[in-house]
Structures are given as structure tokens and as C-alpha cells.
A and B are shown apart, each in its own frame.
Chain A
Amino acid sequence: MSEEKHHIVPYRVYVIVLMALIVLTFASIAITEIELGAYTVAGALLFAGIKSYLVLTYFMHLKYDKKYIVAMVAFVFAIFVVVLVITFLDYLYR
């Protein structure tokens, strides 16, 4: 059981990421104010997606982790999306 060498993330990175997240939050509030019809949902989800990507890579250290952990995370999100899509095969075509 060897000691894993830790990558220590500099504070600066965290602060930048936080700024980006806050900006994105306001951006998503702004975009949903505009009347975009069906695209509002897509827009909001897009921003949420980018935000969660940032949280996952920087705050949750995925960027510095072994690749197989990243693969697992991606796999789990993929499974969820697939399940959602399949469920909608029912509702979209009812």
C-alpha cells in the first residue's frame, strides 16, 4: 500500500473556479428570464451541466485523479441519461 502522492491544488484555482460558477449562476438566471420557449429548459440545463463539470473536475479533484475514476463517473452519468431517455420513449410517444 504505497503512499499516493497528493497533488495539492493551489488556492488560486479554487477562487477562479468559484468566480466562474457564480458568473454562470447569474448567466443562467438571466437566460431563463428571456422568453425562449422550449429552449429555456435546455439553456438552464446547459448552464447547470457546465457548472457541474467544473465542480466535478476542480472541486472534486477529478482532474488530478486516476483515469478509471473519471471513467466510472462518466459511466454513471451516462447510465442515468440513458435511463431517462428510455423512460421518455414511453412518454414522448404515448
Chain B
Amino acid sequence: MEQNAHIEHDHYDAEASKIGMWLFIFTELLLFGGLFVVYSVYRYVNPDAFHLAAEELNTTIGAVNTILLLVSSMTIAMSTSTLQYKKKGATLALLAITTIIGIVFLVNKYFEWGVKFSHGIWPGSEHLLNDFSQGEILFFGLYFVMTGLHALHIIIGLVIILVAAYRIHKGTVNENRAALLENAGLYWHLVDLIWIFLFPLFYLLT
């Protein structure tokens, strides 16, 4: 990925890729960081409404999704080890598990949002605007934006994982050139990291 088109040097530099990925993760952290600032301010301004609104969310689904992400984080972390042990099959299997868990997470999310929609709660919906207090409107606004953006990151993460798996399959990513897989892993952990904060902030603080 990092080669110059017309200079056929071997430019592979695992550490450079790793720093690059970390730096990118920093920007992602601050992207969500902005949202966390918004969340904290509004939580501070409307404590009661936020409590009330959080009760509308289903803690069980949230908890299940948390565990799912944690497990998937472990599987992808393990896959970096298996790759080093030159176990291509195991690596691919672990990635497959990770992908499946990611998809299950999204399906859960889909149903969770679906339930909200069927109750007439979505950003700007009439039910929300008419029957809820301002704090609750903000809560749900942030809920949809933050979990939505998180879901978008899951999708991006899945795409990266699939590309990595394909390259492992073809052998261009291997124990000597593992950067892509490690970066896919880092990205996936980032997604996990963000969820670790989203979960208590939205589901638990009732």
C-alpha cells in the first residue's frame, strides 16, 4: 500500500504503518471526543431528563453487544499471534469469527433502532418533539448520532478486516508483512474502545 508507483524500492516499514494507524486512531478518538463533549455538557445541564431517557434503552441488548465486541476484539487480537505462528488457516478462521460477530452486532443494532422507530422515536419525529422534554430530545438525538457513527465505524472496520483476510489468503500479508492485519486489529479495537464508553453512558446511567 505504501509503495511509490514508479520507484520500485522496498518501502515496507512496519513501524511507519503502525504509527500511521495510531495517528489515524487519534483523529477518530477526537472525532468522537467532540461528541463526548456535547454529551457531557447536555448530561450536566439536563441530568433528570437523561436519566429518564436512558430507561427507554434496553440494557440487555447493550450488554450483549458489549460482550460481543469484547470477544471479537480478542479474536482479532489472537489472529495477529496466529499469523506470527504461521497458522494461516487459524488466522483466517479467527478473522471470520470477528466478522460474523461484527455483523451480529449490527443486526442487534438494527433491531434496537427498529424498536425505537416503531415507538415513533427518531430524530425530529413528531412523537419525540411533542411528547418529550428538551433533555430527552437531546438524549435521543445524541443516541442516534453516536451509535450511528459507531455503527458506521463497525462497517468500515469490517471492510478493512475483509481486505486483510483476502490479502492473507493471497499471501501478500504474511508473518513478515503483517502491518495490514495489525492495523485492521488496531482499528477494530478502537471501535471496541469507543463502545466501552458509549455503553455505560447511554444504557447504564439510569
Contact = CB atoms under 8 A, between A and B. Distances in A.
B60 to A, nearest CB: 10
Contact of B70 (A4, A25, A45, A87): A25
A25 B63 contact: yes
Contacts of A56: 189, 193
Contacts, number: 114
B29 A80 contact: yes
A87 B59 CA distance: 30
**Which among B29, B192, B196 has the highest number of chain A CB atoms within 10 Å?**
B196
Contacts of A84: 36-37, 40
Given A18-B70, A84-B37, A32 B200 contact: yes
Contacts of B14: 3-4
A17 B81 contact: no
Interface in A38-82: 40-41, 44-45, 47-48, 51-52, 55-56, 58-61, 65-66, 69, 72-73, 76-77, 80
A17 B176 contact: no
Contacts of A47: 200
Which size bracket describes the interface of B in this complex?
A: 35 or more
Contacts of B100: none
A40 B205 contact: yes
Given A15-B74, A21-B70, A3 B176 contact: yes
Interface in B69-111: 70-71, 73-74, 77-78, 80-81, 84-85
Contacts of A15: 74
Contacts of A4: 14-15
Contact of A60 (B12, B30, B36, B189): B189
Contact of A55 (B84, B85, B189, B199): B189
B74 A28 contact: no
Interface of A: 1, 3-4, 6, 8-11, 14-15, 17-18, 21-22, 25, 28-29, 32, 40-41, 44-45, 47-48, 51-52, 55-56, 58-61, 65-66, 69, 72-73, 76-77, 80, 83-84, 87-88, 91-92
Interface of B: 10-15, 18-19, 22, 26, 29-30, 33, 36-37, 40-41, 43-45, 59, 63, 66-67, 70-71, 73-74, 77-78, 80-81, 84-85, 176, 178, 182, 185-186, 189, 192-193, 196-197, 199-201, 204-206
